[in-house]
Amino acid sequence: MVRTRRELAVFLSKLKGFSRPSVQLEQYPSDSEVAAKLLWQMMLNDEIEDKEIVDLGAGTGILGIGCLLLGAKKVYFIDIDSKMKFEIEQNLQILCDNWEIDVKDKWGFICKNVQELTQNDLNGMQTADELITVLNPPFGTRKKHVDKMFLEKALSLSDSVYTMHKTSTKDFIDAFSRDNNLTISWAEDTSFPIKQTMNLHKKRIQRIEVTLYNLRK
């Protein structure tokens, strides 16, 4: 059992990143420290252990795999890129090798555009109050307002959503929450390092200020 947030972050740092990241899909690896902060808050809120989790825009699966390590009943990894299934499977093997956790029947991969995802895709058995959604959405640098689309979809699936957004968009999150009668039950500012994984990156590491949130209906 993971005893500290630091121990969680150390394990998450062992997971593989994108083998061939897509600029258009904004496939930037989630930082292990930032991911650990978000997941630890979920755990403190008793919203991981024995819960069914949706990892929306899962990428290589760092958030969902962290949930499995912390005792999630099942994780649904959702991504539009079919190659992510293989990369998630590689990282699940790292989880099993490090922690001797049996993940058989505890995860599923759904290759689908987030906009087209429905409750029926998640076996059609869960209601919004039974699922927890976690996501590191695209920040909208390539496609405007894509972060809003991800957030809207997350809230259509579950009553409690853990997400991260650029700190510069705080006014948008505040207004979005008011307009949709949401409660911001937790928010924490942090720094998100983006490593030089694509040709467009000019610095070895670029830091972006982000805010982590738990939004509730």
- pLDDT tens by residue, 62-90: 999 999 999 999 999 999 999 999 999 99
pLDDT at residue 13 greater than cutoff 50: yes
* Mean predicted confidence (pLDDT) in 125-138: 89
215 contact partners, CB below 8 Å, separation of at least 6: 151, 155, 160, 161, 163, 177, 182, 183, 184, 185
Mean pLDDT, rounded, for 130-134: 95
pTM of the model: 0.92
User: pLDDT grade, residue 141 (50/70/90)?
Assistant: low
Give pLDDT tens digits for 97-124: 999 889 999 999 999 999 999 888 987 6
Q: What is the mean pLDDT of residues 47-59?
A: 96
pLDDT score at 201: 46
- The domain ranges of the chain are 5-112+135-216
What mean pLDDT comes out for the span 128-155?
Answer: 88
Q: What is the pLDDT of residue 79?
A: 96
- Cα 78 to Cα 12: distance, rounded to the nearest angstrom: 19
Average pLDDT over residues 31-38: 96
Superfamily (CATH H level) for 5-112+135-216: Vaccinia Virus protein VP39 (3.40.50.150)
